[in-house]
Amino acid sequence: MTARLVGPRGVREQNASSFLVDCVTMTQRNLLTILRVPQLLLGATIQPLMFVLLFSYVFGGALGGATYREFLMGGIFTQTVVFSAAFTAIGLATDSKEGIVDRFHSLPMSRLSIVLGRTLSDMLVSVVSIAVMIGAGYAVGWRIRGSALDALGAVLLLMFFGFAMSWIGAVVGSVASTAESAQSALMIILFPITFISSAFVPSSTLPGPLRAVAQWNPITSVARSTRESFGNPTAPSVAIREPINWASTHPMLYSVIVSLLILAIFVPLTLRVTRSREG
């Protein structure tokens, strides 16, 4: 299988093996950047850690105490991988501003491999974030009460959903002129969809219109699926019942479907945006 690529040097061909090599090379390049500038990991570790402590001890007493902390962690895990899209946006915007992306485009390599290398490296960074969250969760009294296989399924779902969300960040990063504008624009998108969900509070406690949005929000389904897989409560109190719909009764399947839909929309959109910027 070969792909014909058109660029400044004319028509060139790339087969599947060279595409894979390019993806691995770009992923390694991004990971090496993080190793050389470890401060880049602070946002992936310190920020979610602060959310755990803030919601556990500042708001936790009013929201349900120990039971709420068990409920909270599924939402924190989900929020962490969702916010990892910001690293994709910032990274691409920075590379574009410094002219690095233009240099890559002048080489005989696919545009897709450039962005895919970024999203894959950010997905691997999210694994570090999840590991930090597991440690923080144990420190505040949270426990994995499900089977090891179910817990692994939850981690894989979180990684896949975070990977899908990173392509939204890729579009924003490809359009933005600076890293600061990329981060600001993406936070305008991510904050509402994260908090209008059952990541931190049951969706049944939200007002009518917001409740309807939260019930079908994929962040709600990912958080619920994570809680179920880890054996945690899906509500902070037995007196609170979450609305029943197809998404809540099939949270894992719904989360996977939405993740695939996000990829189907934003992968081609990212490529279109990068081509338009070249033009």
Q: Crossing angle, helix 218-230 and helix 148-175, to 10 degrees?
A: 160
Buried b / exposed e over 194-222, threshold 16 CB at 10 Å, is bbbbbbbbbbeebeeebbeebbbbbbbbb
Encode the chain (279 residues) as per-residue pLDDT tens digits: 444 444 444 334 457 788 888 888 888 888 887 777 777 777 777 888 888 888 887 776 666 667 888 888 999 999 999 998 988 998 888 888 877 777 776 777 777 888 998 999 989 988 988 998 898 888 888 899 989 999 999 999 999 999 999 999 999 998 888 888 988 999 999 999 999 999 988 888 888 889 999 999 999 999 999 999 999 988 877 667 777 889 999 999 999 999 999 999 999 999 898 877 665
Terminal-to-terminal C-alpha distance of the chain: 27
For residue 4, how many other CB atoms are within 10 A of its CB?
A: 8
